[in-house]
Amino acid sequence: MDVVRESAGAGRVVIWEESARDGAQAKTLMTADFRVRLARRQGGMFGADGPRHVVFAAGFPAVCAEEFEAVRQVAVEAEGAVSVAAVCRGAAQDVVQAVASVRGSTHARVMVVVPASEAMARVMVHRGARAALEEGVACVKRARDLDASVAVDVCLADASRADSGLMAAYARAMTGAGAGVVLLADTVGGQLPAGCRSMFDAVAAGAGEGVVLGAHLHNDLGLGLANTLQALSAGVRVVSAAWLGIAERAGMVATEQLVFLLDRHPEEVLGPDAAPWWTAPDLTALTPIARAVAEETGVPLSVTTPIVGPGVGTLSTGTPFVHPQLFQPYDPHEVLGVEPAVVLTHLASARVVTAVAARLGHALDQQRARAAMRWVKSRAYRSGRAVVDDAAFAAYLDGLAHAPAGDTR
């Protein structure tokens, strides 16, 4: 049974996880052991339904022997947690390698990349688009003949600049040859949302029932998330994403953002009465997984990173400190398990300073709170850094506590 086609057909969403595979093109390299751990943790967010909600693109086996072995390790050791996929070009030997790398793993998949536009076909396979797509049909048949237990998917590269009618016809032919999902890729990340929606609408209408479309949309114009939401609103239920958005060049939609939005706002994203999951994900796993990916890859989490960044759940100014829910779209502690934190900056009010002092074991009266607030602001400007760390503030408070009465310098 093809659990990905089954999920998409039932209106459930499948995340095609690309941080290990496309993320490598962002100049990162995950060890085989880490790929296994990541696949298990990501699948575990959905409990026993991990394979029906996550296709984990483990790697590109044709790169080298080490990459082949890494993909093979994921296929063996993450079996049952996710559907493991190997990615390859349409070359015959690459297809053989890809199938071999995942053979025997439950819910194993292979994705064959096939150029769809004239320009991309000429560069990738030195033929026209129609000939390249015809060869794509042959690749599907070849892979299915090698091992019928391995599902075969196709990614149409540069779909955003390809002929929709031609893609629809060959999506239908590839599905007829045994393809599970046909993903349309905005390979260069140049699509705008309206054009993205039009592409999926046109290909879906031309391909007809029985063809399961997926989306693989890059973020070069900062529109990866917006375009993915357009694809979802057009009925697509298999969508590529990567932790922290890591992928070629400017990346693609971030897994943590996509999962969060689908879980918290399903009807706004998918339409009325939407049911995106067989088993709803554990959103408290998002931040720990994102931090692990950041540590493994060296891709930093910035203070402005949505959902999983260090700025989530932090307060530093007066009114948000008093009324935090008024200034946040969700409760980070309730939804994500992120403990709230009060941070001292040059914007701190006396209430903020008093709260941080209390956390450090100091009770401040009104006069000393004002003095401490002046010190915090001065310290920030003197150092040229907004945040005043706890150690420096604690040292100041210790001195303040031992100062003579009335001395608040």
User: Hey, what domains does the chain have and what are their CATH numbers?
Assistant: 3-297 (3.20.20.70), 313-409 (no CATH)
Asked whether the whole model's pTM tops 0.85, one would answer yes
DSSP state of 229: H
For residue 404, the model assigns a pLDDT of 55
Cβ count near 89 (within 10 Å):
19
pLDDT digit string (tens) for 256-273?
999 999 999 999 999 999
pLDDT digit string (tens) for 9-57?
999 999 999 999 999 999 999 999 999 999 999 999 999 999 999 999 9
Strands 341-342 and 238-241: unpaired
Separation CA 112–CA 177 (nearest Å)? 13
For residue 37, the model assigns a pLDDT of 98
Element (H, E) at 303: none
Alpha helices in 208-312 (DSSP H): 224-233, 255-264, 266-270, 286-297
Element (H, E) at 271: none
Structure tokens given for 266 = 């399903």
Separation CA 324–CA 339 (nearest Å)? 13
Average model confidence (pLDDT) for the chain? 94
Residue listed under structure tokens 């060959």: 170
pLDDT digit string (tens) for 138-181?
999 999 999 999 999 999 999 999 999 999 999 999 999 999 99
Residue 409 has pLDDT above 60, yes or no: no
Question: What are the backbone angles phi and psi of residue 218, rounded to the nearest 5°?
Answer: -90, 170
* CA distances in angstroms from 131 to 114, 121, 126, 171, 282, listed in the order given: 10, 9, 10, 14, 45
The per-residue b/e assignment along 351-386, b for 16 or more CB within 10 angstroms, e otherwise, is bbbbbbbeeeebebeeebbebbbebbbebbeeeeee
**Mean pLDDT of the 309-329 span:** 79
pLDDT digit string (tens) for 57-97?
999 999 999 999 999 999 999 999 999 999 999 999 999 99
Contact status, residue 53 vs residue 277, Cβ threshold 8 Å: yes
- Which of 98, 65, 66, 78 has its CA nearest to residue 34? 78
